[in-house]
Protein backbone atom coordinates (compact mmCIF):
# COMPACT_ATOMS: atom_id res chain seq x y z
CA UNK A 1 0.00 0.00 0.00
CA UNK A 2 1.14 3.58 -0.54
CA UNK A 3 2.31 5.08 2.74
CA UNK A 4 -0.11 8.01 2.62
CA UNK A 5 -3.05 5.59 2.34
CA UNK A 6 -1.64 3.46 5.15
CA UNK A 7 -1.33 6.48 7.46
CA UNK A 8 -4.94 7.49 6.70
CA UNK A 9 -6.07 3.95 7.58
CA UNK A 10 -4.09 4.06 10.84
CA UNK A 11 -5.63 7.42 11.74
CA UNK A 12 -9.13 6.12 10.99
CA UNK A 13 -8.53 3.02 13.09
CA UNK A 14 -7.24 5.06 16.03
CA UNK A 15 -10.17 7.50 15.79
CA UNK A 16 -12.57 4.55 15.87
CA UNK A 17 -10.77 3.04 18.84
CA UNK A 18 -11.02 6.34 20.75
CA UNK A 19 -14.72 6.56 19.91
CA UNK A 20 -15.20 3.12 21.46
CA UNK A 21 -13.64 4.40 24.73
CA UNK A 22 -10.27 2.79 24.06
CA UNK A 23 -7.95 5.82 24.04
CA UNK A 24 -4.94 3.68 25.01
CA UNK A 25 -5.15 1.68 21.78
CA UNK A 26 -2.02 1.60 19.62
CA UNK A 27 -1.00 0.20 16.26
CA UNK A 28 1.92 -2.12 15.56
CA UNK A 29 4.01 -1.60 12.45
CA UNK A 30 6.26 -4.41 11.22
CA UNK A 31 9.48 -3.00 9.69
CA UNK A 32 11.85 -5.41 7.95
CA UNK A 33 15.45 -4.23 8.12
CA UNK A 34 17.18 -4.62 4.74
CA UNK A 35 20.91 -3.96 4.50
CA UNK A 36 21.61 -0.83 2.48
CA UNK A 37 17.94 -0.35 1.65
CA UNK A 38 16.16 0.99 4.74
CA UNK A 39 18.50 0.59 7.71
CA UNK A 40 20.20 3.98 8.10
CA UNK A 41 19.76 6.63 10.75
CA UNK A 42 18.15 8.81 8.05
CA UNK A 43 15.63 6.02 7.41
CA UNK A 44 14.88 5.84 11.14
CA UNK A 45 14.29 9.60 11.25
CA UNK A 46 12.03 9.41 8.19
CA UNK A 47 10.02 6.62 9.84
CA UNK A 48 9.74 8.70 13.01
CA UNK A 49 8.55 11.71 11.03
CA UNK A 50 6.00 9.57 9.21
CA UNK A 51 4.65 8.15 12.46
CA UNK A 52 4.67 11.50 14.23
CA UNK A 53 2.77 11.52 17.54
CA UNK A 54 0.62 8.51 16.69
CA UNK A 55 0.56 5.76 19.33
CA UNK A 56 2.54 3.27 17.28
CA UNK A 57 4.79 0.38 18.27
CA UNK A 58 7.45 -0.45 15.67
CA UNK A 59 8.63 -4.05 15.52
CA UNK A 60 12.01 -4.18 13.79
CA UNK A 61 12.44 -7.49 12.00
CA UNK A 62 15.88 -8.67 10.92
CA UNK A 63 15.76 -9.96 7.36
CA UNK A 64 16.52 -13.64 6.88
CA UNK A 65 18.09 -14.19 3.48
CA UNK A 66 16.72 -16.85 1.15
CA UNK A 67 17.71 -18.14 -2.26
CA UNK A 68 14.54 -16.57 -3.64
CA UNK A 69 15.69 -13.04 -2.76
CA UNK A 70 19.48 -12.90 -3.29
CA UNK A 71 19.49 -9.11 -3.82
CA UNK A 72 18.66 -8.42 -0.18
CA UNK A 73 20.70 -8.98 2.94
CA UNK A 74 20.41 -8.72 6.68
CA UNK A 75 21.36 -5.41 8.30
CA UNK A 76 24.54 -5.42 10.35
CA UNK A 77 24.02 -5.35 14.11
CA UNK A 78 25.72 -1.96 14.36
CA UNK A 79 23.35 -0.52 11.73
CA UNK A 80 20.34 -1.84 13.61
CA UNK A 81 21.72 -0.40 16.86
CA UNK A 82 22.22 3.00 15.22
CA UNK A 83 18.68 2.81 13.78
CA UNK A 84 17.33 2.27 17.30
CA UNK A 85 19.40 5.00 18.95
Distances (CA, A) of 7 to 54, 59, 70: 10, 17, 30
E strand spans, 1-85: 27-33, 56-62
Alpha-carbon distance of 63 to 24, in angstroms, equals 30
Tell which wins on pLDDT, 70 or 43: 43
Structure confidence at residue 24 (pLDDT): 76
For residue 37, give the DSSP letter. T
Whole-angstrom Cα distance, residue 14 to residue 24?
A: 9
pTM of the model: 0.86
Residue-wise pLDDT for 10-49, tens only, equals 999 998 887 776 667 889 999 999 999 999 999 999 999 9
pLDDT top residue among 24 and 54:
54
Distance of CA 5 to the CA centre of its chain: 15
Q: What is the pLDDT of residue 27?
A: 92
Amino acid sequence: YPLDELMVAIDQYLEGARARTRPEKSVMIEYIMLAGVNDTVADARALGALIGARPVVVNLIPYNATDATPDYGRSRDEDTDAFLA
